[in-house]
Chains A and B, each alone.
Chain A
Amino acid sequence: MTRDNISVIRLRGILLVTVPPEPDDETVSSFQEKVLDVMASNEPRGLVLDISTVQTLDSFFARTLMETVQMAALMGTPTVIAGMRPDVAITATLLGLSFGKTLTARDMDSAFDLIVEKTAEDLSR
């Protein structure tokens, strides 16, 4: 699996990154690189990480996800993890993985709404 399997779309100023179903470690690492690359060239107002097709979320993947979220936050970009499957959510919890205060949404649609809401909130402060 290569970087080509990671699709990045920019919609209404928000970056939407879709992660492939069973990413190997290389794909996971390059996913992080790709996201940061794209963010460097255009400042998005939000980042949506779509993991709706991911079947196995192990500690390595979780750590990479969280690093990406933290890096984006440092650059002032709110991130939403979207589409986590129920069995993946349960497994992650049993495994003890922590996603901290990261925003989560059930699908890309809600993720978008969440970012719009959050940026409006931030602006009004």
Chain B
Amino acid sequence: MKTQSQKQATVGKGERVPAEAPSHQAEGSLGSDESYRLLVETLRDYAILMLDPEGRVATWNPGAERFKGYRADEIIGKHVSIFYPAEAMARDLPRIELEGATKTGVYEDVGWRVRKDGSQFWASVVISALRTKDGVLIGFSKVTKDLTLQRAAEARIKRQSDEILELATPVMQVWKGVVMAPLIGSLDSARTQQFMERLLNRVVETNSSVALVDIMGVPTIDTKTAQHLIESITAVRLLGAQVVLTGVRPAIAQTLVHLGINLSDILTRSSLAGGLQVALNILKLEVVAKSRGLKE
């Protein structure tokens, strides 16, 4: 049996204690063979199987049948590599995983696996080496979780939060002929295109001559975001509108200069108010205070 000092770090993941084969306890009690069997049977979200030392399937649970598609009688005796797609086979992944588990006790991985019908699913896999008290390898346990649903849910959440973000930052008309578009966060290619669409359509709808693009909500700026920002500004100008970049904070100004980004032909201001002033100048408008009493 390996001692703590003999264990090495597993491939990129944390340390684990090698699993022991379940001990024999009185039937009907927790910890008994019977209750372990019940545990494995009732876990339907996980495929839990045991492999012999050569990697062939020795046991099968209902969860495994559910998302790998094989019945017990058709899969027992087959090698674990049957679950791996061609690319994984080309990389010799099954052998690498089994060897990894043999050496360090546990091998964890996330990747594509294949069902009986040939379809692939994204899975989290944990393979543990099973040894007797004397350290003899009697096989492996393989626990697989289907992450497809999780992945789809995560993608959906991201999409929805993106949509919420867009809804929360509409392009507003702040004066006749002036629109204001706040930018929050960073700009990747997809967001930039959406941003450009919203901004340009609004400029046309409102017949605006000036667009204020406020970047107060952009905490840090990298080259990509800066380039996308410049692109958006270029696009607006093609419509004949002028752009004023507002909310340029000192930290952002510093980053832009250090990145060598040339904003020399773009009007910029540190505050939105400053930007509005520029806009009014462009429109040749002036804000005049109403006199309060007698004329001076």
Contact = CB atoms under 8 A, between A and B. Distances in A.
Interface string A90-115: 10111000010100111100110010
Contacts of A105: 240
B200, B201, B207, B240 — most chain A CB neighbours (10 Å): B240
Contacts of B236: 89
Given A86-B200, A86-B204, A106-B204, A93 B240 contact: no
Q: Is the interface of B mostly helix, strand, loop or mixed?
A: helix
B39 to A, nearest CB: 55
Nearest to A114: B240
A104 B196 contact: no
B207 A93 contact: no
B235 A106 contact: no
A104 B239 contact: yes
A19 B31 CA distance: 83
A84 B231 contact: no
A82 interface: yes
Nearest to B234: A93
A87 B204 CA distance: 11
A123 B175 CA distance: 32
B44 interface: no
B200 A89 contact: yes
Contact of B231 (A82, A93, A104, A114): A93
Given A106-B204, A106-B207, A90 B240 contact: no
B193 interface: yes
A88 to B, nearest CB: 8
Contact of A106 (B193, B197, B239): B239
A57 B241 CA distance: 19
A59 to B, nearest CB: 15
A104 B238 contact: yes
Given A90-B200, A93-B231, A84 B193 contact: no
B237 interface: yes
B200, B204, B237, B239 — most chain A CB neighbours (10 Å): B239
Contacts of B234: 93
Contact of B238 (A92, A101, A111): A92
A74 B203 CA distance: 32
Contacts of B240: 82, 84, 104-107, 110-111, 114
Contacts of A106: 203-204, 207, 209, 239-241
Contacts of B231: 93-94
A82, A87, A93, A110 — most chain B CB neighbours (10 Å): A93
A93 B204 contact: no
Closest 8 CB pairs of A and B: A86-B200, A105-B240, A89-B238, A106-B240, A93-B235, A104-B240, A89-B235, A90-B196
19 contacts: A84-B238, A86-B239, A89-B235, A90-B193, A90-B197, A90-B200, A92-B235, A93-B231, A93-B234, A99-B238, A104-B237, A104-B239, A104-B240, A105-B240, A106-B203, A106-B241, A110-B240, A111-B240, A114-B240
Given A84-B238, A85-B204, A107-B240, 19 more contacts: A81-B238, A82-B240, A86-B203, A86-B204, A86-B239, A87-B197, A89-B200, A89-B238, A90-B193, A90-B200, A90-B235, A92-B235, A92-B238, A93-B238, A104-B238, A104-B240, A106-B239, A110-B209, A110-B240
Interface of B: 193, 196-197, 200-201, 203-204, 207, 209, 231, 234-241, 265
